[in-house]
């Protein structure tokens, strides 16, 4: 299906029903040509320098942050300013001062702006796909899915904000008029991840803005250019420059200042468990001049499992595991990193999986024939390769250890079988193309294994046994569970996303509860 087909335009006063953005079919020659043209257009912009944005003022600093192409380490994507501690504090102070004005902007006006953002991204979908390819290492299908998700977040949250601005009637006590109103919180610090540098960034930022909050955005140091391009899109859509601050910089130099500042009201974070726990701990402190308890929305890691039951469509299970494990080089928090397979089908599953993974092609994401591109950075690659060496001592190598393209951060898809649950590559989040396969004695043992983790983000089960599927609904302890399908690819509106335990605060992004995280409820009773 063609992705950027004309569709009815939504307005704040007349939003059309929400539907997910369709994906582009790159098999069509005209779409392939459009994508190649977009890559050429984006490539002509590589190496540009981007400014900080604080209180509507564009600033430069002496210290620079270079973003490079993970598929070609010598290629600079963008040159960015490193914000100082003083500039970070200034961003919070001015965002706090500007909140009073921005929060009074009518809801309908804010919603019109977020719908305009969706429209602009839709018009430039191939260009955003291209940016995701050169800076985040995403293949054409992975980039397309992310850009579509960014559009979905804007469309969905705009409608949700309209709903929140007209809440259901309260119980009316005799002699009173009783109502509930939802008010914006204040200054929000948005810290997005590098693995979904457009969709998650757009979702967190636009939800905060459309709710009436001001935002200080600290993009990932791996993908700041995509953040800068999105900020320019927000400004073009009508969001005032005084309500959005763009401050790249390291977590140690800038992130802690933003989180700890007494005028920060909430923090929206997606990233690793350790950083998320640090942010939560830092935000919990209440300096004397702070008059609120900060709200933290933290989406962290995962060690996600797919359970393959004795009674199942084994071919579908093999495909679901392979796609979930190696899509975007295993760099999704929802990626399958553990396959838990019933003993009765274990040997056949392992044989089929090994053959399927052997067909995966690795190389430049700009070449649509490649299924897997690079991992995000040299440091990430080093860590992944260290885990692969650990795996050699813990399990039986099925795939991996093969040559990969040089010049970029490439890692071959790697599969280990016959792992014990105590193995490090079974328990620790690797965030790369490494899959652990473990045999379960029976279904009870399989459930024990999938739940043997400090995380609880996504999971899936392949089974034709209705009793086992129902047990999984009740006993498979994750925030997002999928039956007889892959464990990646959550869709806005259909699969509200967020996990349990060390996977975060279970925010359920893309669902009807999410906007509540950026608002506070005020109960009002008037005596008649």
**Mean of per-residue pLDDT scores for the chain:** 96
Q: Taking 60 as the threshold, does the pLDDT of residue 6 lie above it?
A: no
The phi-psi region of residue 32 (left if phi > 0; otherwise alpha if psi is between -120 and 50; otherwise beta) is alpha
Catalytic residue among 333, 336, 366, 487: 333
Tally: H helices and E strands in the chain: 15, 21
Say whether 333 is catalytic.
Answer: yes
Q: Per-residue pLDDT averaged across 359-376, rounded?
A: 97
Report pLDDT for 250. 86
Instruction: Indicate if 453 and 348 belong to the same structural domain.
Output: yes
Instruction: Indicate if 310 and 296 belong to the same structural domain.
Output: no
Closest by Cα among 229, 228, 271 to 251: 271
Instruction: Indicate if 469 and 517 belong to the same structural domain.
Output: no
Is 387 domain-assigned? yes
Return the C-alpha torsion angle 136, 137, 141, 143, nearest 10.
20
Instruction: Indicate if 57 and 110 belong to the same structural domain.
Output: yes
Is 344 domain-assigned? yes
CB atoms within 10 A of CB 309: 24
* Interior angle at CA 233, CA 231 and CA 235, nearest 5: 70
Say whether 299 is catalytic.
Answer: yes
Closest by Cα among 357, 287, 286, 277 to 322: 357
Question: Tokens 């899936």 sit at which residue?
Answer: 460
Q: How far apart are CA 315 and CA 59, in angstroms?
A: 55
Q: How far apart are CA 217 and CA 58, in angstroms?
A: 14
CB-hemisphere CA count at 13 Å for 479? 28
Is 117 domain-assigned? yes
CB contact set of 70 (below 8 Å; sequence gap of 6+): 136, 137, 373, 374, 375, 376, 377, 408, 409
Is 113 domain-assigned? yes
Report pLDDT for 10. 76
Instruction: Indicate if 339 and 487 belong to the same structural domain.
Output: yes
Instruction: Indicate if 90 and 164 belong to the same structural domain.
Output: yes
Q: Per-residue pLDDT averaged across 485-498, rounded?
A: 98
| CATH number of the domain bearing residue 423 | 3.40.309.10
Instruction: Indicate if 179 and 162 belong to the same structural domain.
Output: yes
Closest by Cα among 372, 400, 369, 395 to 385: 400
Report pLDDT for 348. 98
Q: How far apart are CA 225 and CA 248, in angstroms?
A: 10
Report pLDDT for 1. 37
Is 399 domain-assigned? yes
Q: Per-residue pLDDT averaged across 243-263, rounded?
A: 95
Instruction: Indicate if 239 and 343 belong to the same structural domain.
Output: no
Please tell me the total count of domains within the chain.
2
Q: Taking 60 as the threshold, does the pLDDT of residue 7 lie above it?
A: no
Helix (H, G, I), strand (E, B) or coil at 251: helix
Instruction: Indicate if 355 and 459 belong to the same structural domain.
Output: yes
Catalytic residue among 146, 299, 366, 429: 299
Q: How far apart are CA 439 and CA 345, in angstroms?
A: 9
Q: How far apart are CA 484 and CA 507, in angstroms?
A: 24
Is 416 domain-assigned? yes
Q: Per-residue pLDDT averaged across 329-342, rounded?
A: 98
Is 40 domain-assigned? yes
DSSP-assigned letter for residue 252: I
How far is C-alpha 34 from the chain's CA centre? Answer: 26
Instruction: Dump pLDDT digits (tens) for 192-206.
Output: 999 999 999 999 999
Instruction: Dump pLDDT digits (tens) for 385-402.
Output: 999 999 999 999 999 988
Q: Per-residue pLDDT averaged across 436-458, rounded?
A: 98
Instruction: Indicate if 338 and 459 belong to the same structural domain.
Output: yes
Instruction: Indicate if 377 and 278 belong to the same structural domain.
Output: no
DSSP-assigned letter for residue 514: G
Q: How far apart are CA 134 and CA 128, in angstroms?
A: 10
400, 432 contact by CB (below 8 A): no
Q: Taking 70 as the threshold, does the pLDDT of residue 145 lie above it?
A: yes
Instruction: Indicate if 106 and 52 belong to the same structural domain.
Output: yes
Q: Taking 90 as the threshold, does the pLDDT of residue 253 lie above it?
A: no
Rg, Å, the chain Cα set: 23
| CATH number of the domain bearing residue 218 | 3.40.605.10
Q: What percent of the chain has pLDDT over 70?
A: 98
How far is C-alpha 430 from the chain's CA centre? Answer: 17
Is 471 domain-assigned? yes
Q: How far apart are CA 21 and CA 434, in angstroms?
A: 31
Q: The domain containing residue 416 runs over which residues?
A: 304-491
CA distances from 208 to 1, 102, 191, 217 (A): 32, 12, 12, 11
């Amino acid at each position: 299906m063609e992705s950027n087909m004309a569709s009815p335009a939504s307005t704040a006063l007349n939003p059309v029903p929400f539907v997910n953005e369709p994906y582009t079919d790159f098999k069509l020659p005209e779409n392939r040509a459009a994508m190649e043209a977009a890559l050429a257009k984006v490539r002509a912009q590589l190496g540009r320098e981007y400014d900080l944005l604080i209180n509507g003022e564009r600033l430069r600093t002496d210290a620079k942050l270079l973003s490079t192409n993970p598929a070609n380490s010598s290629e600079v994507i963008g040159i960015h300013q490193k914000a100082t501690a003083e500039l970070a504090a200034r961003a919070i102070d001015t965002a706090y001062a500007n909140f009073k004005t921005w929060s009074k902007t009518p809801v309908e006006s804010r919603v019109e702006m977020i719908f305009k953002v969706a429209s602009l991204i839709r018009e430039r979908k191939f260009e955003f796909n291209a940016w995701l390819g050169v800076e985040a290492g995403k293949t054409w299908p992975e980039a397309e899915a992310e850009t579509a998700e960014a559009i979905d977040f804007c469309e969905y949250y705009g409608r949700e904000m309209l709903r929140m601005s007209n809440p259901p009637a309260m119980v009316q006590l005799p002699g009173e008029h009783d109502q509930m109103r939802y008010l914006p919180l204040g200054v929000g610090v948005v810290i997005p991840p590098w693995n979904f540098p457009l969709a998650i960034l757009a979702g967190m930022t636009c939800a905060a803005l459309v709710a009436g909050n001001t935002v200080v955005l600290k993009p990932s140091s791996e993908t700041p250019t995509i953040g800068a391009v999105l900020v320019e899109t927000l400004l073009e859509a009508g969001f005032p420059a005084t309500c959005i601050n763009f401050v790249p910089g390291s977590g140690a130099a800038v992130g802690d200042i933003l989180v700890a500042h007494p005028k920060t009201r909430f923090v929206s974070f997606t990233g690793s468990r350790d950083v998320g726990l640090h942010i939560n701990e830092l935000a919990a402190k209440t300096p004397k001049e702070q008059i609120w308890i900060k709200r933290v929305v933290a989406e962290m890691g995962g060690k996600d499992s797919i359970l393959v039951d004795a009674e199942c469509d084994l071919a579908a299970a093999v495909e679901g595991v392979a796609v979930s494990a190696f899509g975007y080089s295993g760099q999704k928090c929802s990626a399958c990193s553990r396959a838990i397979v019933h003993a009765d089908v274990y040997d056949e599953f392992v044989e089929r999986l090994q053959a399927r993974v052997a067909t995966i092609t690795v190389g430049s994401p700009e070449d649509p024939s490649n299924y897997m591109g690079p991992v995000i950075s040299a440091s990430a690659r080093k860590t992944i390769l260290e885990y692969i060496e650990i795996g050699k001592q813990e399990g039986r190598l099925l795939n991996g250890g093969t040559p990969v393209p040089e010049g970029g951060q490439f890692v071959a898809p790697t599969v280990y079988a016959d792992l014990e649950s105590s193995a490090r590559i079974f328990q620790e989040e690797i965030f790369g193309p490494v899959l652990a396969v473990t045999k379960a004695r029976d279904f009870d043992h399989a459930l024990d294994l999938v739940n043997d983790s400090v995380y609880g983000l996504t999971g899936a089960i392949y089974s034709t046994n209705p009793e086992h599927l129902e047990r999984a609904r009740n006993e498979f302890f994750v925030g997002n569970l999928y039956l007889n399908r892959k464990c990646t690819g959550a869709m806005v509106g259909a699969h509200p996303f967020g996990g349990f335990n060390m996977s975060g605060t279970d925010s359920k992004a893309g669902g009807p509860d999410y906007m509540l995280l950026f608002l506070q409820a005020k109960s009002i009773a008037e005596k008649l």
